[in-house]
Structure 1
Amino acid sequence: MAVSSDDVLWQPEAAIVPAEVTEAEYSYQQQPNNLESAAKLVEAYLEVIRRSDSHELLQKARSIQTDVFEHPNSSTHIPWLIASADLYQYQHEFEAAQKSLAAVIAREPRHLRGSLMLARIKLAQGNIDQARSICANLFGHHELGIVSTCLLEVEGREENPQPVYNKLKQLHQRNDAQSSMVVRQWRLQILAEQAILLGHYEEAQHWLSELPEPKTIVEQKLLLDSFLFAPSLSVPRALIADCSETVVDAIAVRLARAQQTIGGGCWVDYAKQRIQLREIRNDKLHSADIAYYFTYVEPKPEAALHWAEINYSVAKEPFDRKLLEHAQALVSKQSNTGVE
């Protein structure tokens, strides 16, 4: 039987579906034209997708988005616009996400989640001044700790991040007890990111240890990188998944890098196969994973730079810039040594 490229690339996934997803699916099935139900189901799917990168659920969410597009109120219903923007954002479709969020803010100029999401997208695109303006626009209308976190994330992208990190730590210590789980998780992730970029790797691990389980893929990546980028630390064996487990490519390339330091292992071979498939498909959605692999796991300067530049053209986060700089350094080193 012929097998499609998707069948080769995407592995079977566990059939365990959280109760929240099952309930949201049932509600949507009962009211397929109800935008509130559609929004809740897409949000439920995204909650799982962020921890599993589930291709199956992502396709379901996209299918709902396509169906709802024809609904007469889809361009004015705020919960649906937020859910749709979140789905676009997850796939790095930033322009489509911003269009949905613009519709939200046109109706509620200081809508909290819409504004925070829009500021986050502006940061991802490297538009720091625009992100700062969006955060500042929330002052006096929402909880000070939330607005301050938004601004401190923006300020952490500028030239002197250490004082900003110190302020964010103080803010966390003052507000941790009364913060909601969502706000607390958001702030802890920012703290971990800033700590790694500043070279405070053990502090990053502390912040990440306070996050609930199971961790999102982004949080798993941060935890592994907090060891992989530290010159004196190695990834604990407890963090290296068993070979029988299914992991997403972003984690696989990091596990391969970790195993190389202790003599190789199953993830080295697995990551090689996955990246070869990504290259064959010219899979730009996973350009960061491909660039990471060719920069840190199997160094190939030209390939590393090619994919790092593709990734940076879409996402300009600090770790994307770090990846690009390391790929550029590989090319420079190759030129200086005269190695072809």
Structure 2
Amino acid sequence: MRRMTALLFLVVSSLAAITAAGEPSTPANDEEPLERLPRGAARVGDALRARSMDSSSALRLARKYVRLGAEEADPRYFGYAAAALAPIWRLAAPPAEARLLRAMILQNRHDFDGARADLDAVFAVDPGNLQAWLMRASISKLQGRFDDARASCAPLVAAKDPLLAVGCVSDVASVDGAVDEAADALERVLEERASAPAERRRWALTLLAEIAARRGRSDHAERRFTEALQIAKPSAYLLAAYADFLLDEARFADASALLAEATRMDAALLRLALAERRLGSPRLREHIVELSERFAAGRRRGEALHLGDEARFALYLAGDRAEALRLAQTNWRVQRAPSDARILLEAASASDADESAREARAFLLRAGWDESRLARVVEAARAAAAPIAGR
């Protein structure tokens, strides 16, 4: 990741840069909260003020906050993790675990090049670090660098962990023109590795569910999503992916029930509001206002982490086609997952931005979608993007 005053300044600067960037806002009155902090927010500050953050404690605290950030899809936890790691960068040779944790933080901030640099430093001292190779493959896939992603999966194959290796390769292949082969290979190895750790099986089941949904195999997708939800505590990613599937299946009541207790997560609240729009829920207005406030809070912190979701909000809940297209195009320049291509297609179709629509369509076809489903998505986007009645 001197004197104690300089160290504390570095820690505070690290936290401020990630969690509190941007212009300050002024509350309307003394009782209005600027922002609701996630649980555990005070612990980092307490530990730092106590000046008790040795390297071991810093790593332990950073691990905790990275895990919470991933579980709850809350970038503020990654900010706390960065603050906890700050003392370590004074060491002559920061440990590989610190670089791996910082790579996770940078990945969350969409600083993919910075994350790759830290991962390369990990490989220099620990070339067999499977978590680092899996992360590198994921980053490369998100950037559309599929050859590099496949190369990053190779060490997993050498490690003789079939589920991890095949999952890595299948994840890449499924968006690069080999969706059928990817699904078949992962199905086989998952059946063979029934004793694999629960978290790993959940990851593989989620991949299979998403692939099945892209292929239009709804019954199989439902089965795999259900298995994933039952095998271990649902992650924020799994909840959002399953909710998207339910919305596509017009199972709006099921989506609402799934997300009703998860609204602390922005992605869950967005999808709940999308379901409520179709259900005519009286709470829709309240949730639209809350989402708008959350996106604004993220901008005040200097974050631009959920542009795809913000584009969906602009298109379907705010009725702002131009803003939706701007956000979707900006998001596409940074990351290229199927969900990113889809919102680009939807926003571009709603605004008659033909070039962006063609690029998104080509990506989705390569990722397993067919023309009939694409046509339905385009038609729905054009119809649903109109402003909500009464706005």
- Closer/same/farther in 2, CA of residues 145 and 284 from structure 1, 3 Å limit: closer
SS at match of 2:292: helix
Counterpart Cα distance in 1 of 2:238 and 2:81: 22
Q: What TM-score, normalized to structure 2?
A: 0.72
Q: 2:279 aligns with which of 262, 278, 282?
A: 262
What are the superposed Cα offsets for residues 264-303 of structure 1, whole Å, 9 maximum, x if unpaired? Answer: 3324432344336636948522312210112333432211
Indicate conservation of the 8 Å contact 1:312/1:324, yes or no: yes
Superposed displacement of residue 204, structure 1: 2.8
Aligned length: 322
> Does residue 1:199 correspond to 2:205, yes or no?
no
**Unaligned stretches of 5+ residues in structure 2:** 1-24, 353-377, 387-391
- Closer/same/farther in 2, CA of residues 160 and 115 from structure 1, 3 Å limit: closer
Superposed displacement of residue 246, structure 1: 4.5
Matched residue, 2:264: 247
Higher relative contact order (CA 8 A, sep 6+): 2
Deviating above 6 A after TM superposition, structure 1's stretches of 4 or more consecutive aligned residues are none
> Does residue 1:134 correspond to 2:152, yes or no?
yes
Matched residue, 1:274: 291
Indicate conservation of the 8 Å contact 1:112/1:142, yes or no: no
- Closer/same/farther in 2, CA of residues 324 and 105 from structure 1, 3 Å limit: same
- The 5 A counterparts of 1:106-185 are 106-175=124-193, 177-185=194-202
Q: What TM-score, normalized to structure 1?
A: 0.82
- Closer/same/farther in 2, CA of residues 140 and 58 from structure 1, 3 Å limit: closer
Indicate conservation of the 8 Å contact 2:143/2:336, yes or no: yes
SS at match of 2:159: coil
Indicate conservation of the 8 Å contact 1:192/1:203, yes or no: yes
Superposed displacement of residue 330, structure 1: 0.9
Matched residue, 1:324: 344
What amino acid is aligned across from residue 128 of structure 1 in structure 2? F
Indicate conservation of the 8 Å contact 1:51/1:214, yes or no: no
> Does residue 1:288 correspond to 2:308, yes or no?
yes
Indicate conservation of the 8 Å contact 1:33/1:71, yes or no: no
Superposed displacement of residue 128, structure 1: 0.6
- Closer/same/farther in 2, CA of residues 310 and 275 from structure 1, 3 Å limit: farther
Superposed displacement of residue 151, structure 1: 0.9
Counterpart Cα distance in 1 of 2:154 and 2:242: 31
Counterpart Cα distance in 2 of 1:16 and 1:63: 11
Counterpart Cα distance in 1 of 2:173 and 2:279: 38
Higher mean displacement: 108-117 or 54-63: 54-63
Indicate conservation of the 8 Å contact 1:284/1:310, yes or no: no
- Closer/same/farther in 2, CA of residues 2 and 149 from structure 1, 3 Å limit: closer
Identity of aligned residues (%): 22
CA RMSD of aligned residues (A): 3.3
- The 5 A counterparts of 1:97-112 are 97-112=115-130
- Closer/same/farther in 2, CA of residues 171 and 265 from structure 1, 3 Å limit: farther
Indicate conservation of the 8 Å contact 2:198/2:232, yes or no: no
Counterpart Cα distance in 1 of 2:34 and 2:179: 40
- The 5 A counterparts of 1:301-316 are 301-316=321-336
> Does residue 1:33 correspond to 2:54, yes or no?
yes
Higher mean displacement: 7-16 or 286-295: 7-16
Counterpart Cα distance in 1 of 2:78 and 2:187: 35
- Closer/same/farther in 2, CA of residues 136 and 181 from structure 1, 3 Å limit: same
What amino acid is aligned across from residue 146 of structure 1 in structure 2? L
Matched residue, 2:207: 190
Superposed displacement of residue 8, structure 1: 5.3
SS at match of 1:69: helix
Matched residue, 1:11: 36
Counterpart Cα distance in 2 of 1:8 and 1:328: 37
Matched residue, 1:216: 235
Higher mean displacement: 311-320 or 200-209: 200-209
Indicate conservation of the 8 Å contact 2:59/2:85, yes or no: no
Indicate conservation of the 8 Å contact 2:41/2:80, yes or no: no
**Unaligned stretches of 5+ residues in structure 1:** none
SS at match of 1:42: helix
- Closer/same/farther in 2, CA of residues 165 and 41 from structure 1, 3 Å limit: same
- Closer/same/farther in 2, CA of residues 87 and 16 from structure 1, 3 Å limit: closer
Counterpart Cα distance in 2 of 1:163 and 1:112: 24
Indicate conservation of the 8 Å contact 1:195/1:204, yes or no: yes
